[in-house]
Structure 1
Amino acid sequence: MSVTQEQSEWFAGAFESLVSSVSLAILGKEETIRLVIASMLSEGHVLLEDYPGTGKTVLAKALANTLEGTNSRIQFTPDLLPSDVTGVTIYNQSTNKFEFHKGPIFASVVLADEINRASPKTQSALLEVMEEGVVTVDGESYPVGKPFMVIATQNPVEQAGTYKLPEAQLDRFLIKTSLGYPDRATAVDLLLDSANRSRAAQISPIIGGPSLLAMSQLASAVHVDRSVMEYITDIVHATRAHKDIALGSSMRGGLALARMIKTWALAHGRTYATPDDVHQLAVPVLAHRLIVDAESEFAGVKAEDVVAGILVELPVPAYRAA
């Protein structure tokens, strides 16, 4: 099934409505909001890493409030147990049966706040559900349903008492991005509206689960020329061969980038993806999947700079719409 121009215009309009709604709570950060919403429509998860007080939690709450459906918030702490996330089986004496009590992971949008403060054992409880949308407890599998999205936050400072996310966990996140501090004009507007302490709570749902799934299915049908897919493959391979990288992107990274460029193209009213889409999304999709060599990291090399350098070095394919 190919996407028509009429469908692409409908998608772009709905996408802009979502961006405008979330922007009521997060001022001056439309590009980051677009990335997060595109990730959601690509059926992916988001890792927000930034300094305290930049609006990570507000962004996650605003997105959850924009959707019709359930949402939950899990405050990750060192004493949090896997069962506190997934749920637990309890024996019911009145029925003489074991019953499964669902945890907060069973929601449309799950905010995993300060995810790096929980132990690796608890973090690993998210591995299966983020990849397959299923929770397995005591040999029984329970689907979390669709739509399903995890938005995790973590601070790059105050690392004492935290547990770094393992590579297998990072690979489950479709993108990693940040908000950063607001510009001067936005900061002044926020100060003038300082009496409003719950901006996200004022956002009302504007889209339901079925419409969200329809948008996701439409995005998956966007045309991508073989040359663009070859370009993505070359980028992924280049991360593995780079002199400053100890571990390059997995195939999951290439698949994630292919999914994101389809959604990104449709969000801009196009029925086809281009190499420009790859350029705009390669860093947030791939950088967090790379492990920089220890000596290179000590010298100041960052994964984001490596991906950006690869984009400069590799030849861009000639664009063909069909």
Structure 2
Amino acid sequence: MEDILEILLYIAYNLENQDQAVTVDAIRRQLEWMQGQGFVIEESIERLAMDGFLTSQGENEFKLTKMGRNESFKINKIRAKDDYNRLMDRSTDSAAYLDYCEEIYGYRMYLFNMMDKSQLDYLFSSVAVLKSDTVLDLGCGPGSILDCLASKYGCHGIGIDQIEHSIVKKCGKVISYINGDIDMLASYDLKPSITLSIDSLYFSNDLDGLIRQLKSIENNRLYLYSSQYIFDETRKNEISLHRDNTRIARVLRQNGMLYKTVDYSENEHSLYENAVKALPKYKNDFEREGNIDLYEAKLREGKSGKELYEKGLARRYLYIVE
């Protein structure tokens, strides 16, 4: 399959996984965010429909067929793992990226999520962590945040992600690491007392099963951070941005789990704005390292996120289950 067709299926899969409509405009915005330039995608989408991977749901809207879902699932597994390994490996070797993180996040550590200083301070200081606790981080990335928690409180930190162990070793000095799939949590036989997920649950292909597994662990407190975006502006009035109508909220309720919500939308909006302002001062440093493409990707991300908030198409929440 041609690369552009794989990318479109990859995007369609992730849109559906976030309960978003697979529209031409939503796909185009995601593609521009990823690639940084405009593409004529209508013909490729039509080809995917003709080949049986997509089915039309009306003008400019599509849905993955069973065959399309199966194929895009395989593509997603491969691309997500490969893309994140490349990103994490290069970024954690970049001094320019570390300097940028220190300015934006307020902590000198490699970070790849939407946690501003206020959110990080809440996590590091307000979440009651005891030395006897086991903290599980689902989708821990290089382990920077989990490592900080484990070092601060002397607790046992366990991270799960699909990036290479050698990358985690750069940032997670005192934690245990499982190179695996968060949807396979039951097979790891873990008994955390605190489970943390920072912008990783939308990578789950069975969120209901994952939440049920977390619920089954006795005395396990959950702190689930997630951003919700609408990539097609014509869908702006959808209720999916409400704190109680996100995919995570619905699955928690379906499993009879009571939760508290903290709205971090203003924090995330400010983070995008600050990123766009701060990045240019590091451009030359990124370029000297041979990482100008990394700089450009972060700048696109910041501009896109800022635009989504300015158009009322984004929200960010922390869901707490105790």
User: TM-score by structure 1 length?
Assistant: 0.30
Higher relative contact order (CA 8 A, sep 6+): 1
* Structure with the greater alpha carbon radius of gyration: 1
User: TM-score by structure 2 length?
Assistant: 0.30
